[in-house]
Chain A
Amino acid sequence: MTIPTSLTIHEAHRLLAKKELSSTELTRAYLSRIESVEPKVRALMTVTSELAMKQAAAADKRIADGDIKPLTGVPGVIKDVLCTRDARTTCSSKMLENFVPPYDAAIVEKLYADGMVLLGKTNLDEFAMGSSTENSAYFRTHNPWDLQRVPGGSSGGSAAAVAAGESVFALGSDTGGSIRQPASFCSIVGVKPTYGRVSRYGLISYASSLDQIGPMTQDVEDAAIVLNAISGHDERDSTSMPNPVPDYTRVLGRDLRGMKLGIPKEYFVDGMQPEVDTAIKTAIKKLEELGANIDWNVSLPSTPHALAVYYIIAPSEASANLARYDGVRYGFSCQDAAGMWDALEKTRQFGFGPEVKRRIMLGTYALSAGYYDAYYLKAQKVRTLIRREFDAAFEKYDALITPTSPTVPFKAGEKSDDLMAMYLSDVCTMPVNIAGVPAISIPAGFGGSLPIGMQIIGKNFAEETLLRIAHAYEQATEWHKQKPEI
């Protein structure tokens, strides 16, 4: 039997449960798919073939013993910013080129306990700073829909691997849009859960008040399955919330009658491509046909400030978090130096790439004496205004609908020299991290042959509402069934 490498988690699970397919066969099929398309896509920092075959054999034994969970024996990939003891974890930085973490991230523990098979670690913008995966210190990842274009970022490797059929599913992290924007660019589903929903223990920190881990999958049901597996309280992450974890698959299939959806006008920004505007408005009309009540006149007036708030808060937190790279305990260490301070400065000069240095400099400036009140404190206050506007909106609406990104995937190199243009790629996703609320991006059409994503934003811990809306839309459309030819 030829094993297709376009199986969803739920499809693979069904075949594994019925013993029509073994995890070993499935894993081998995906490893061979990786071998054939990876030279074109370049989604993976590290392929963990041996580990995968070992885990697949263990999963097969477990399944033979009648112990199967939705992810048992299913191959996936993990963004290379999440610690894995069995595979180096680079953050796509020269700083961590040979770093093998001494422990697994909390979500890795959970996924392993459920029997996931790890195929590899995915490429990203160095330390998750970027929107195109062009900032990887190693190589750029290509968008499977058009190899000349970027897959988005920073979880671009995860998105491209899923879209190219190199993996059944992926895990990403999202600080300002790093799951949702690449999901949109590669026509897959990506979820940024509520801040505190998923433990970040073992996630290498970028901006701690914004970072969150989430699923990147081929459809909404898969996203619910992965969310089930990774959610929950963990005392090793003091920002992890004790809220009970529902079964996220339970709401799938419910209709949208009586749902109130708001369309915030500030998200239909200047510079948005007309094909994105058209696709999202068409998608909203589809939601209306499905029974939702739409209010087209919602306003969240502080939205235009989100970009500045993000680019002050995130670099400030990054400048503190990345102070740990000192060349003493792990990572790159410059030995050719005149003394301790010189070694420290050279380690950081040669270990970090340009975007990481830029953000460390920006954050250090915003936190420095004389500028703290004007930048950092001011940004934190405007952050409160942005949160309050979301809170007020969610008193009236079950969810807000926006584009995920104002554009279709852009060409590699197109925005490399224009920092503000690159930063604007996340203009629709950053406010969500600033407020801490959850959001999902789902395929909502194409501009020519290039993917367009729709973002659904909900109130804190309303992941079920988002999945319900996303699933109803997905089942009424065909976008998620289209696959790139590579």
Chain B
Amino acid sequence: MKLTREEVLHIAALAKLGMTEEDIDRFGTQLSNILENFEALRKVNTDGVPPTTQPNTLCNVMKDDVVQPSLPVEDVLANAPAREGDFFRIRAVME
């Protein structure tokens, strides 16, 4: 079962990953090979077994909603590829 070109393009669109024609072909083959190796998992009996989302016993860790110092704006914007005043500058969302 090889992933079709359309399937690869669909996943790439969901992941927001640009692809060359070569990528589409290569990922199609590689992902199919990997998924084939995982087929045995489907046969494991997991009736009545709950899923594990994370391995420790904590859940719903709460803390008081207290105002605390945060990072200075300049520090946060220091890595910005483009900025305008105290904002990250992005391209137009509506085209």
Contact = CB atoms under 8 A, between A and B. Distances in A.
A286 interface: no
Chain B interface, >50% SS class: loop
Interface residues of B, number: 49
Interface string B11-30: 11011111100010001001
Contact of A195 (B34, B56, B79, B92): B56
Given A381-B50, A420-B37, A361 B31 contact: yes
A329 B17 contact: no
A48 interface: no
B90 A385 contact: no
B27 A358 contact: yes
Interface in B49-73: 49-56, 58, 61, 63, 71
Interface residues of A, number: 72
Interface in B1-49: 8, 10-12, 14-19, 23, 27, 30-31, 33-35, 37-38, 40-42, 44, 46, 49
Contacts, number: 160
B52 A238 contact: no
Given A333-B82, A361-B27, A380-B51, A420 B63 contact: no
Nearest to B44: A382
A196 B56 contact: yes
A209 B30 contact: no
Contact of A384 (B11, B14, B16, B50): B50
Interface string B63-95: 100000001000110111110000010111101
Contact of A308 (B41, B49, B51, B52): B41
A302 B46 CA distance: 11
Contacts of A195: 54-56
Contacts of A331: 79, 81
Interface of A: 98-100, 102-103, 195-196, 208-209, 235, 238-239, 241, 302, 304-305, 307-309, 311-312, 319, 323, 326-333, 335, 337, 339-346, 348-350, 352, 357-358, 360-362, 364-365, 368, 374-375, 377-385, 387, 419-420, 434-437, 460
16 contacts: A100-B78, A102-B71, A102-B78, A195-B54, A239-B54, A311-B38, A329-B88, A333-B82, A345-B18, A349-B17, A360-B17, A361-B27, A378-B46, A381-B51, A383-B52, A387-B55
